[in-house]
Amino acid sequence: MTPLLQVDVTDPTPPYEQLRRQFVDLIGSGALPVGERLPPLRQLAADLGLAVGTVARTYRELEAAGLVRSRRGGGTRVAANPARPAGERARALDDLALGYARQARLLGADRDAALDAVRRAWPAEG
């Protein structure tokens, strides 16, 4: 069963990219284990109110990154050893950092205070 996926229509990020990021996170965290079947294109598109082509592009991007494998008649499944490519990892970290920076600014923190908080939160052995 695929965890809940969402598309935010107010987000300027294209829907296929929103979905791609969510799948990358789900696969990288193990929430979608190796061999797990992704929903059929038409079903996911209907569930999210998207065009089938939008979901198809998401799946193509995931396949190009080596995270999933598609087979005609066999559906799309999470690939074995879906290592997150360095570019994906950097993009995911950038997304997380952007969200954190926004929240820190809303709290009135400056850059030094926000970076100090990250340093305190990071484990000494990490």
How far, in Å, CA of 109 to CA of 83, rounded?
35
Q: Domain check: are 68 and 93 in the same one?
A: no
Token code pair at residue 81: 């050893």
pLDDT in tens, 91-105: 777 877 888 888 889
Residue holding tokens 């791609």? 20
Q: Domain check: are 30 and 73 in the same one?
A: yes
Token code pair at residue 38: 């992704």
Q: What's the CATH number where 71 sits? A: 1.10.10.10
Compute the average pLDDT of residues 14-28. 91
Q: What pLDDT is stored for residue 25 in this prediction?
A: 86
pLDDT band at 84 (very low <50, low <70, confident <90, very high): low
pTM of the model as a whole: 0.65
Which is more confidently placed, 111 or 29? 111
**How many structural domains is the chain composed of?**
2
Q: Domain check: are 101 and 74 in the same one?
A: no
Domain boundaries, position 100: 86-121
Q: What pLDDT is stored for residue 1 in this prediction?
A: 47
* Range 12-49 burial, b when 16+ CB lie within 10 A, else e: eeebbebbbbbbbbbbbeeebeeeeebbebeebbeebe
Does 83 score more than 80 pLDDT?
A: no
